[in-house]
Amino acid sequence: MNLATLSASYLRARPLNTALSLGLLALGVATIVLLLLVVGQAEERMHRDARGIDLVVGAKGSPMQLMLSGIYHLDAPTGNIPLTAFHSLQKNRFIKKAIPLALGDSWKGYRIVGAGREYAEHYGAGLQSGKFHEKAMEAVLGAEVAARTGVGVGGKFTGAHGIGGEGAEHEEAYTVVGVLEKTGTVLDRLVITAIESVWEVHHEQAGKEAEREVTVVLVQYASPLAAATLPRQINAQSELQAASPAYETARLFRIVGVGVEALRAFAVVLILAAGLSVFIALYSALEERRYDLAVMRTLGASPPRLFGLLLVEGLVLTLLGALAGLALGHAFASALGAWLEREQHYAITGLEWRAGELWLLAAALGVGALAALLPAWRAYRTDVSRTLAQG
């Protein structure tokens, strides 16, 4: 017997109250854990994908759409820009690296990106097997594309027009010549082909000589100075638009952040409600427990020990609730991850711990201690002699 087992025996003696407190706390903690995991992983993933890209240049339209389509391959492209525009960017002294991408087609929902090997190298991806594409109609698969489709080096496929996978199929077949290593970036879910392939495919379909175009250019600055002048310089050109990923992601998280904040506030309310339920459970049980507390005094317990007993009871309750909440939050994240994976979105994993969870645990225990404080004080003040004289 010790303070914890004694406390636990009191908790077991009133299972409904205990279950209510545990349930409220577990749900509140689980919600916050889920937010921590999803938001944290999404932010990390987005930063990883945008690493080393200072500017996305493309056709006029929404800058966020340009960023979402050009870096994350989530939205539809804003349109195309002439190849000549890329050539002039290449000559710009503010620009260290400019990677042109030609978008527009997909295969089984995975986007086909016309790009040179410098695109893969930008993400530090080497080859898992095969080689990089050298001529038109050769393709390199991202690690996840290869794993999910089961197509490897030597395989053939035809791309579909449009990025949703529902468009008309093109006639030319691509030949897989290589598979990229897993990078944990957007690259894993892409099919990379020579930019010429995209031109060839669309030229054939259009049935006439199309003017050569690219969709976006990913730009890395030569110096910090470029940030001040380059976007303005580009935006001044009638057909071009420059979007800063850092600025646009911050804007995106500000927009999404409202929902996240609302959910977080809801979770905090749940945790506070759990604290209140712990308080009510302990406080209302004091009345029926006052004889027990008095008897404990006759058996040699000092008032501080009774205080400790009640405090530990609140802490045991919140610790169990918080641990259940942590487990539940990770289970939710895993379930969400499994669902997102089927939908071919960003993967979310529940098998990851974040430092914020320790703070959450500490905060929950704090709430429990606070809720137990007044009942514990009443227990401390038990007047043994009067209580026993009454019954």
Partner 1 sequence: MISVRGLQHRYDGAAVLNLNEWDVAAGERWLVLGPSGCGKTTLLHVIAGLIVPSDGEISVGGKNLETLKNQERDRWRGTHVGIVLQALHLVSHLNVQANLRLAQYLARLPQDDARIAETLAALGVADKAARRPAELSQGERQRVAIGRAVVNRPKLLLADEPTANLDDAAAARAVQLLLSQAEQVNATLVVATHDARVKSHFVKTLQL
Site residues (CB under 8 A) for partner 1? 1-2, 6, 9-10, 12-13, 291-292, 294-305, 384-385, 388-389, 391
Residues 6+ apart with CB under 8 A from 102: 80, 113, 114, 115, 195, 198, 199, 213, 214, 215
Q: What is the 3-state secondary structure of 191-202? A: EEECHHHHHHHH
For partner 1, which is the closer residue by CB, 229 or 298? 298
| Least Å from the CB of residue 305 to partner 1 | 7
For partner 1, which is the closer residue by CB, 347 or 388? 388
| Least Å from the CB of residue 274 to partner 1 | 23
| Least Å from the CB of residue 309 to partner 1 | 10
Instruction: State both tokens at 141.
Output: 């698969």
Neighbours of 164 (CB within 10 A): 10
For partner 1, which is the closer residue by CB, 90 or 298? 298
* Cα separation, 73 vs 91, whole angstroms: 26
| Least Å from the CB of residue 294 to partner 1 | 7
For partner 1, which is the closer residue by CB, 33 or 376? 376
For partner 1, which is the closer residue by CB, 187 or 306? 306
| Least Å from the CB of residue 364 to partner 1 | 26
Residues 6+ apart with CB under 8 A from 281: 14, 17, 18, 20, 21, 317
* Cα separation, 81 vs 218, whole angstroms: 13
Beta carbons of 96 and 104 less than 8 angstroms apart: no
* Cα separation, 244 vs 108, whole angstroms: 30
| Least Å from the CB of residue 17 to partner 1 | 13
For partner 1, which is the closer residue by CB, 207 or 391? 391
Residues 6+ apart with CB under 8 A from 368: 275, 278, 314, 315, 317, 318, 319, 321
| Least Å from the CB of residue 381 to partner 1 | 13
Sign of CA dihedral 324, 327, 329, 331: negative
For partner 1, which is the closer residue by CB, 127 or 295? 295
